[in-house]
Protein backbone atom coordinates (compact mmCIF):
# COMPACT_ATOMS: atom_id res chain seq x y z
CA UNK A 1 0.00 0.00 0.00
CA UNK A 2 1.31 3.47 -0.79
CA UNK A 3 2.05 5.44 2.34
CA UNK A 4 -1.14 7.41 2.64
CA UNK A 5 0.24 9.14 5.71
CA UNK A 6 2.68 10.92 3.40
CA UNK A 7 -0.38 12.29 1.65
CA UNK A 8 -1.85 13.38 4.97
CA UNK A 9 1.39 15.16 5.84
CA UNK A 10 1.38 16.93 2.48
CA UNK A 11 -2.22 17.93 2.99
CA UNK A 12 -1.49 19.42 6.40
CA UNK A 13 1.58 21.24 5.12
CA UNK A 14 0.63 22.37 1.59
CA UNK A 15 -3.16 22.42 1.35
CA UNK A 16 -4.75 22.92 4.72
CA UNK A 17 -3.24 26.33 5.60
CA UNK A 18 -4.93 28.02 2.63
CA UNK A 19 -8.25 26.48 3.64
CA UNK A 20 -7.94 26.88 7.40
CA UNK A 21 -10.76 29.40 7.51
CA UNK A 22 -13.04 27.09 5.55
CA UNK A 23 -12.31 24.15 7.81
CA UNK A 24 -12.79 26.30 10.91
CA UNK A 25 -16.31 27.13 9.69
CA UNK A 26 -16.99 23.53 8.66
CA UNK A 27 -15.98 22.29 12.09
CA UNK A 28 -19.39 23.34 13.34
CA UNK A 29 -21.42 23.55 10.13
CA UNK A 30 -22.59 20.86 7.71
CA UNK A 31 -24.85 22.29 5.05
CA UNK A 32 -24.21 20.64 1.67
CA UNK A 33 -26.64 21.55 -1.08
CA UNK A 34 -26.15 18.51 -3.28
CA UNK A 35 -26.36 14.76 -2.78
CA UNK A 36 -23.99 13.06 -5.22
CA UNK A 37 -24.56 9.35 -5.76
CA UNK A 38 -21.71 7.86 -7.76
CA UNK A 39 -19.94 4.59 -8.35
CA UNK A 40 -17.32 3.35 -5.90
CA UNK A 41 -14.90 3.16 -8.83
CA UNK A 42 -11.62 4.77 -7.78
CA UNK A 43 -11.41 6.75 -11.03
CA UNK A 44 -14.61 8.66 -10.45
CA UNK A 45 -13.92 11.31 -7.80
CA UNK A 46 -16.96 13.54 -7.25
CA UNK A 47 -15.16 16.51 -5.68
CA UNK A 48 -12.50 16.50 -8.38
CA UNK A 49 -14.92 16.24 -11.29
CA UNK A 50 -17.13 19.03 -9.97
CA UNK A 51 -14.31 21.07 -8.40
CA UNK A 52 -16.26 21.20 -5.17
CA UNK A 53 -14.89 22.34 -1.86
CA UNK A 54 -15.21 20.33 1.35
CA UNK A 55 -18.69 20.74 2.75
CA UNK A 56 -20.43 21.16 -0.60
CA UNK A 57 -21.24 17.59 -1.63
CA UNK A 58 -22.89 14.89 0.43
CA UNK A 59 -21.56 11.77 -1.25
CA UNK A 60 -22.79 8.19 -1.46
CA UNK A 61 -20.73 5.80 -3.54
CA UNK A 62 -21.90 2.29 -4.30
CA UNK A 63 -20.89 -0.40 -6.77
CA UNK A 64 -22.57 0.59 -10.02
CA UNK A 65 -24.04 3.78 -8.48
CA UNK A 66 -27.06 1.70 -7.58
CA UNK A 67 -29.84 3.00 -5.38
CA UNK A 68 -32.07 0.34 -3.85
CA UNK A 69 -35.75 1.10 -4.30
CA UNK A 70 -37.68 1.82 -1.13
CA UNK A 71 -38.41 -1.07 1.19
CA UNK A 72 -39.21 -1.17 4.89
CA UNK A 73 -35.75 -2.59 5.56
CA UNK A 74 -33.17 0.15 6.02
CA UNK A 75 -29.61 -0.08 4.84
CA UNK A 76 -26.75 2.38 4.87
CA UNK A 77 -27.47 3.74 1.41
CA UNK A 78 -31.12 4.35 2.09
CA UNK A 79 -30.43 5.87 5.50
CA UNK A 80 -27.92 8.27 3.97
CA UNK A 81 -30.41 9.36 1.30
CA UNK A 82 -33.03 10.06 3.95
CA UNK A 83 -30.52 12.01 6.05
CA UNK A 84 -29.40 14.12 3.08
CA UNK A 85 -32.90 14.96 1.89
CA UNK A 86 -34.85 15.21 5.11
CA UNK A 87 -32.30 16.41 7.65
CA UNK A 88 -29.72 18.29 5.58
CA UNK A 89 -32.30 19.52 3.08
CA UNK A 90 -30.23 19.16 -0.08
CA UNK A 91 -31.85 20.80 -3.10
CA UNK A 92 -30.30 18.63 -5.80
CA UNK A 93 -29.45 14.97 -6.26
CA UNK A 94 -27.08 13.74 -8.94
CA UNK A 95 -26.87 10.08 -9.90
CA UNK A 96 -23.62 9.72 -11.81
CA UNK A 97 -22.65 6.73 -13.93
CA UNK A 98 -19.39 6.43 -15.81
CA UNK A 99 -17.62 4.91 -18.77
CA UNK A 100 -15.86 1.60 -18.25
CA UNK A 101 -18.01 0.73 -15.23
CA UNK A 102 -17.09 -2.76 -14.00
CA UNK A 103 -20.53 -3.38 -12.55
CA UNK A 104 -22.31 -2.45 -15.77
CA UNK A 105 -19.81 -4.43 -17.84
CA UNK A 106 -20.40 -7.52 -15.70
CA UNK A 107 -24.14 -7.21 -16.24
CA UNK A 108 -23.96 -6.43 -19.94
CA UNK A 109 -21.60 -9.30 -20.65
CA UNK A 110 -23.15 -11.75 -18.21
CA UNK A 111 -20.00 -12.33 -16.16
CA UNK A 112 -20.01 -15.22 -13.71
CA UNK A 113 -20.16 -13.65 -10.23
CA UNK A 114 -20.22 -16.97 -8.40
CA UNK A 115 -17.18 -15.93 -6.36
CA UNK A 116 -18.86 -12.69 -5.30
CA UNK A 117 -22.36 -13.67 -4.22
CA UNK A 118 -23.01 -10.47 -2.29
CA UNK A 119 -22.07 -8.42 -5.32
CA UNK A 120 -24.32 -10.54 -7.51
CA UNK A 121 -27.21 -9.90 -5.15
CA UNK A 122 -26.47 -6.17 -4.97
CA UNK A 123 -26.43 -5.90 -8.76
CA UNK A 124 -30.01 -7.14 -8.84
CA UNK A 125 -30.86 -3.51 -8.09
CA UNK A 126 -29.97 -2.97 -11.74
CA UNK A 127 -32.48 -5.51 -13.07
CA UNK A 128 -34.64 -2.76 -14.52
CA UNK A 129 -31.58 -1.12 -16.06
CA UNK A 130 -30.66 -4.36 -17.81
CA UNK A 131 -34.22 -4.80 -19.01
CA UNK A 132 -34.27 -1.27 -20.43
CA UNK A 133 -30.97 -1.66 -22.29
CA UNK A 134 -31.60 -5.16 -23.63
CA UNK A 135 -31.87 -5.57 -27.36
CA UNK A 136 -33.44 -8.52 -29.12
CA UNK A 137 -30.69 -8.55 -31.75
CA UNK A 138 -27.59 -9.18 -29.68
CA UNK A 139 -25.53 -8.49 -26.58
CA UNK A 140 -26.29 -5.49 -24.43
CA UNK A 141 -24.14 -2.44 -25.18
CA UNK A 142 -22.30 -1.37 -22.02
CA UNK A 143 -22.57 2.33 -22.85
CA UNK A 144 -26.31 2.04 -23.36
CA UNK A 145 -26.61 0.15 -20.09
CA UNK A 146 -24.71 2.88 -18.20
CA UNK A 147 -27.27 5.44 -19.37
CA UNK A 148 -30.26 3.15 -18.78
CA UNK A 149 -28.93 2.47 -15.31
CA UNK A 150 -28.67 6.15 -14.38
CA UNK A 151 -32.26 6.60 -15.47
CA UNK A 152 -33.43 3.50 -13.59
CA UNK A 153 -31.63 4.51 -10.40
CA UNK A 154 -33.25 7.96 -10.52
CA UNK A 155 -36.56 6.16 -10.59
CA UNK A 156 -35.54 4.00 -7.65
CA UNK A 157 -34.53 7.15 -5.82
CA UNK A 158 -37.97 8.64 -6.29
CA UNK A 159 -39.59 5.65 -4.53
CA UNK A 160 -38.15 6.80 -1.20
CA UNK A 161 -40.72 8.71 0.83
CA UNK A 162 -38.26 11.47 1.73
CA UNK A 163 -37.44 12.02 -1.95
CA UNK A 164 -41.04 11.66 -3.14
CA UNK A 165 -42.17 14.26 -0.63
CA UNK A 166 -39.43 16.72 -1.56
CA UNK A 167 -40.22 16.28 -5.25
CA UNK A 168 -43.91 16.85 -4.63
CA UNK A 169 -43.09 20.04 -2.75
CA UNK A 170 -40.76 21.12 -5.56
CA UNK A 171 -37.78 21.60 -3.31
CA UNK A 172 -35.65 18.88 -4.91
CA UNK A 173 -34.33 18.38 -8.45
CA UNK A 174 -32.92 15.10 -9.73
CA UNK A 175 -30.10 14.97 -12.26
CA UNK A 176 -28.57 12.12 -14.25
CA UNK A 177 -24.92 12.34 -15.29
CA UNK A 178 -22.43 10.09 -17.03
CA UNK A 179 -18.71 10.80 -16.59
CA UNK A 180 -16.34 9.79 -19.37
CA UNK A 181 -13.01 8.81 -17.85
CA UNK A 182 -10.90 9.19 -20.99
CA UNK A 183 -12.01 12.75 -21.80
CA UNK A 184 -13.02 14.00 -18.36
CA UNK A 185 -16.36 15.16 -19.77
CA UNK A 186 -19.79 14.86 -18.22
CA UNK A 187 -22.93 14.29 -20.27
CA UNK A 188 -26.25 14.98 -18.67
CA UNK A 189 -29.48 13.09 -19.00
CA UNK A 190 -32.00 15.48 -20.46
CA UNK A 191 -34.50 16.57 -17.89
CA UNK A 192 -35.71 13.02 -18.41
CA UNK A 193 -39.39 12.40 -18.34
CA UNK A 194 -39.56 13.91 -14.95
CA UNK A 195 -43.23 13.17 -14.60
CA UNK A 196 -42.31 9.52 -14.65
CA UNK A 197 -39.57 9.84 -12.07
ZN1 LIG B 1 -18.62 1.83 -11.85
Q: For 98-110, what is each residue's pLDDT tens digit?
A: 999 999 999 999 9
- Residues 25 and 41 both lie in one domain: no
CB distance 189 to 177 below 8 Å: yes
| Torsion sign, CA atoms 70, 76, 77, 80 | positive
Distance CA 123, CA 66 (A): 8
User: Quick one: pLDDT at residue 103?
Assistant: 98
pLDDT band (50, 70, 90) for residue 77: very high
* Interval between CA 12 and ligand 1 midpoint (Å): 31
* Interval between CA 168 and ligand 1 midpoint (Å): 30
Q: Which residues are catalytic?
A: 39, 41, 43, 98, 101
Q: For 111-148, what is each residue's pLDDT tens digit?
A: 999 999 999 999 999 999 999 998 888 788 999 999 99
* Interval between CA 64 and ligand 1 midpoint (Å): 5
Who has greater pLDDT, 33 or 73?
33
* Interval between CA 15 and ligand 1 midpoint (Å): 29
- Residues 79 and 140 both lie in one domain: yes
- Residues 18 and 72 both lie in one domain: no
- Residues 60 and 81 both lie in one domain: yes
For all residues of the chain together, what is the average pLDDT?
A: 94
* Interval between CA 21 and ligand 1 midpoint (Å): 35
* Interval between CA 20 and ligand 1 midpoint (Å): 33
User: Quick one: pLDDT at residue 169?
Assistant: 97
Answer whether residue 134 is part of any domain.
yes
Measured at the CA of 29, the angle between CA 27 and CA 32, to 5 degrees, comes to 120
How many distinct structural domains can be found in the chain? 2
User: Quick one: pLDDT at residue 11?
Assistant: 97
- Residues 22 and 80 both lie in one domain: no
Share of the chain above pLDDT 70, in %: 96
- Residues 86 and 177 both lie in one domain: yes
Distance CA 127, CA 85 (A): 25
Distance CA 165, CA 26 (A): 28
User: Quick one: pLDDT at residue 191?
Assistant: 56
- Residues 176 and 120 both lie in one domain: yes
Rounded to two decimals, what is the model's pTM? 0.93
- Residues 68 and 136 both lie in one domain: yes
- Residues 125 and 115 both lie in one domain: yes
The domain that holds 64 is classified in CATH as 3.40.1050.10
- Residues 129 and 155 both lie in one domain: yes
Domain that holds residue 59: 31-192
pLDDT at 190 over 60: yes
Lowest mean pLDDT among 68-77, 100-109, 143-152, 155-164: 68-77
Distance CA 1, CA 124 (A): 32
Amino acid sequence: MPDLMDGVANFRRDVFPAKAGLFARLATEHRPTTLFIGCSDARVVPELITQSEPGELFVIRTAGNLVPAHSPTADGTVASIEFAVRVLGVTDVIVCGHSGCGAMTALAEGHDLGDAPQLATWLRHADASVARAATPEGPTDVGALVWANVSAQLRNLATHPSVAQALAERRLTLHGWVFDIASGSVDRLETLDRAGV
